[in-house]
Each structure stands twice: as structure tokens, then as C-alpha cells.
Amino acid sequence: MKRLCFLTALVFTLLFYQPGYSEPLSSTLKDQQNVSITIYNVNVGLVKDTRHIDLNPGVLELKFMDVAAKIDPTTVHIKSLINESSLSALEQNYEYDLLSPQKLLEKFVGQKVQLATINPETKREEIVEATLLSTQNGNIFQIGDKISLGHPGRILLSRIPENLIPQPTLVWLLENRLSKPQKVEVSYLTSGINWKADYVAILNPADTRMDFAGWVTLDNKSGATYRNALLKLVAGDIHRVQPERKMDLMAPKMAAKEAAAPQFKEESFFEYHLYTLDRRTTIKDNQTKQLALLNANDVPVKKLFIFSGAPSYFYYRIDQRSSKQKVGVFLEVENSQKNKLGMPLPKGTIRVYKQDNEGSLQFVGEDQIDHTPKDEKFKLKIGDAFDIVGERIQTDYKTLGTNLYEVAFEVGLRNHKKEEARVLVEESIPGDWEMLSNTHPFEKIRSNLIRFEVSVGKDKEVKVRYRVRFRY
């Protein structure tokens, strides 16, 4: 037994005190020379942390501190920026047993602690020794031959256990072959950091043009602060493997016409778009930050009134005489350079405002857009028209054969506005269809969607009638 202990001690000595091995070295933010972060709009960020560290040649242990608390340890990579072959990682660990009052107490279960209370008569602090028996659902102490469920005073501990650390830490066993200080880059993915786009549109009195501004909202809950960082944003639908499962409405701080100049450079990247901030910025932990993305004034816009149908209207005989429907109000914009836009727009929420007769901005509606390439149109539903009424009547329904039907509709549009209104009646016709008769010309938008463009005068009513035969 003595010989076994001696051999174990000898192996330990040879392994850890051989030439070239040194005691564990810690690296903190004071060693940091550069940090860059690329944030994806899927709640993940890629961090690249460059540090200047004085490493001795040989095998050594490096504690790399001040990393994100929500780091994905499987994505960590370290390399030398001086000579990549001069640094090899033999072992990698992620330590996240963080120091907290509860965990600190748990480490002292079964050990002696001190309890301090203020004597109400003498007003002096008195300290007694106790054994901490449990921390489950409250602390249990043994004081002498008595058991105390909890204690009103302070708990005094003699030390901090070695296996508790104040912050998440990456620990490597490295082999360093460079005789001068190393410049290393550590990269990793972290969750808890996200970005989104928010837009503000201000309509002119005629609803024909708008001032348009885009904002980037960053939300950092990754457990780290990125100081003076190079910031990149990636917009696109990135696929990520999902782990197996075990059984704010935030208004931008400026109106569109008051927005700062755009600060992001946009470029294509793989099948996504990359937006790079033209300056460095600090992203604090638990901080929401907004940055200007774009600013365009006097952008042409079309206001559309749309009365929409649905395929289900064609499948069944509708017994009720009529059905009132809302007429939707939409804004349509072309994202093109000729319209003073043209930057690929990340998906986000667009909030629309307009000045009232007193010149005060009022909120008129909002909608979301998906990622929108240049030269493509996007359409926003702002709400429903108050003064335009739509009514649908099924005037006929026939079954002509197996899966063959004939149906007729009458769509009534009444305009109570102070001016003429143009309403788009859009009908979704199922299956293979044929128009038999119609009172107004129509446009075939898609194979199963037609559109009637109808002018309705002030305080007038117009009725659109049509009959179709379809098979499905």
C-alpha cells in the first residue's frame, strides 16, 4: 500500500512538474485586444475574442475568463494568430459552477459555520458555532445539542470552496511552442443575444408618400458585456439543429424624419445578408440597444382598399341572405432605388404614423414584413376601413356533376367617404374554374386568385356580379 502511494505521488510529480509545465494561468478582459460579435436573428451570436497572453513554452493550463454565461461549449475554438501550428489544445473544459449564496451554503453542508446575531439588550453582535445540516427548503443547523430550523442572523463562512468560481470560465490544457507572448483568438457561439428590425413610417396628408426609417434593436442577455466591439448582423432564415427534448412593443426613439444617418454597410453573404456597423460599439449585458439602420424620405406608397374572399365560400350553399365583411386598408411599397429604398430589408415590424389636422403625429397601424430583397414589393395591413362597407351574397349554387359546381356571387360596395374610393375585390376560386359571366373586368393574379378593381363614388354603391363553374 505504501509503495502504491509512493508510485502515485511520483507519477503526479513527473506529470505536473516536468520541464515546460507551469502553474495554471488566468486570462481576463485586461488581456483583450479586440472583440467582434456577429448576431443572428435566431437568438445566437458568434463571438471572436482576441487576447495577448504571455504563455510559457510547454504544456500548461489556461483559465480563459470573462466569457458569455450562455456559451455553447461545443462550439469553442482557440487558435494562435501569430503561428497557428505553435499552439495546440490537448484538453478543453467549461466551468460554470458559479458562486452564489445557495451554492456556497450547499458546499458547507455537514461542516462548521458561524451564526451572528445582535443581542437586543447589549446591542452587540454575538457569534455562535453551528453545524449546517441541510439547505433543502430552508437552512437547518445544529447548535450544541439543539436543532434550529433557520436562523435570524448572518451566516459566516470561513472560506470559498475551490470548485466554485465567480464567473463562467473556459479551461484549456495547452501545448505552447512559442517562446514569445501569444496572440490568441477564441471563438464561440452563445445564446441569449438577438436582434430585430423595427421600422417607422410617417404618411403625408394624401397617403401617397412616406418618410421611412429603420432601426436595429439588440437584446443582450448572454451573460457578457462586449466592449468596443465590431458588430455584424446576419439577416436570413438560418437552419439550426434543435436539441432533443426530454419528457416588447418597443417604439423607436425617434420619428422617421428625425432618424440618424444609416450606420450599416449591407452585403450579400452566402444566402443571407450581412449588415456591418461602420463604427465600434459596446453592448452591455442585460441591455437593449437601438441603432439606426436606414433613413429614406418621400418614398412613394400606394394605399389599397381590399375586399377579400376565401375558397370556402365556393364549396357550400350559403343559406343566409347576405354577409357583411370588412374592407381592409393596406399600404404597398416597392423596395427599389427609384423609390429611394433598395437595401434588402430584414424582417421586422413597421409602425405607421400620420399627422392630424393640428400637426400632431398619431399612430394609425402596424404590420410585419418578412425579409424583403431589393426590387420586391411589401404590403402592410394597417387596419379596416371605417367608411367603406362590403357585403357578399351568394345568389346561386348548383351541383352539375361529380365535383362539378356552378356558383354566383354579388359583392356590394358602399362608399361613405368624402371622395371616390377604388376597391380591389379579390376572390380565391378553388380547383379548375371558368368565368361564365361578370359585370366588371377582372385580372387573373394567380391560377386561383382574381381581382376586380372597382371605383365607388362618394356616397355611392356599386355591385359586382359574377358566375363561375369550377371542378375540384
| pLDDT tens column, 327-376 | 999 999 999 999 999 999 999 999 999 999 998 999 999 999 999 999 99
- Residue 241 DSSP code: P
Domain residue limits, the chain: 20-98+165-190, 101-156, 302-471
pLDDT for the residue 386: 94
| pLDDT tens column, 382-396 | 999 999 999 999 999
Helix residue ranges, H only, 209-318:
312-315
- Residue 98 DSSP code: B
Residue 248 pLDDT more than 60?
no
Kindly report the CA angle at 36 between 32 and 37, in degrees rounded to 5?
130
pLDDT for the residue 17: 43
| pLDDT tens column, 27-37 | 999 999 999 99
Q: Which residue in 299, 327, 452, 449 sits closest to 383, CA to CA?
A: 327
pLDDT for the residue 255: 44
Q: What is the mean pLDDT of residues 207-233?
A: 95
Q: What is the mean pLDDT of residues 193-221?
A: 95
- pTM of this prediction exceeds 0.95: no
The residue with cell 349554387 is 397
Q: What is the mean pLDDT of residues 198-215?
A: 95
Q: pLDDT: is 164 or 79 the higher one?
A: 79
Helix residue ranges, H only, 237-371:
312-315
Look over the chain and give the mean of its residue pLDDT values, rounded to a whole number.
86
Contact 12, 43 (CB under 8 A): no
| pLDDT tens column, 39-78 | 998 899 999 999 999 999 999 999 998 999 899 988 999 9
Q: How many C-beta atoms lie closer than 10 Å to residue 87's C-beta?
A: 22
- 3-class SS shares of the chain: helix, strand, coil, % to 5: 10, 55, 35
Q: Which residue in 87, 91, 86 sits closest to 76, CA to CA?
A: 91
What do you get for the CA distance between the two ends of the chain, in Å?
A: 87
| pLDDT tens column, 460-471 | 999 999 999 999
Contact 250, 217 (CB under 8 A): yes
DSSP tally for the chain: helices H, then strands E: 3, 33
pLDDT more than 70, % of the chain = 87
| pLDDT tens column, 427-459 | 999 999 999 999 999 999 999 999 999 999 999
Tell me the pLDDT band of 6, cut-offs 50, 70 and 90.
very low
* Extended strands (E) in 301-430: 302-308, 323-325, 328-335, 348-355, 361-369, 376-384, 388-401, 404-415, 421-428
- The correct CATH number of 20-98+165-190 out of 3.40.50, 1.20.120, 2.60.40, 2.40.160 is 2.60.40
Q: Which amino acid is at 277?
A: L
CA pair distance 453, 462, nearest whole angstrom: 11
CA dihedral sign, ordered 50, 55, 59, 61: negative
pLDDT for the residue 325: 85
CA pair distance 266, 257, nearest whole angstrom: 21
Tell me the pLDDT band of 215, cut-offs 50, 70 and 90.
very high
Q: Which residue in 370, 326, 375, 316 sits closest to 348, CA to CA?
A: 370
| pLDDT tens column, 307-319 | 998 888 898 888 7
Say if domain 101-156 classifies as CATH 2.30.30.
yes
CA dihedral sign, ordered 448, 454, 459, 465: negative
How far is residue 333 from each of residues 116, 233, 321, measured CA to CA in Å?
70, 24, 38
Contact 409, 394 (CB under 8 A): yes
| pLDDT tens column, 122-175 | 888 889 899 988 888 889 889 988 898 888 888 888 877 766 566 678 899 999
Determine the distance from the C-alpha atom of residue 414 to the mean position of all C-alpha atoms in its chain, rounded to a whole number. 43
Set of cell numbers at residue 158 = 470561513
Residue 398 pLDDT more than 90?
yes
101 sits in which H/E element: helix 101-106
Tell me the pLDDT band of 296, cut-offs 50, 70 and 90.
very high
Q: pLDDT: is 304 or 103 the higher one?
A: 304
Residue 24 pLDDT more than 80?
no
In the chain, the largest separation of any two C-alpha atoms, in whole Å, equals: 107
pLDDT for the residue 249: 36
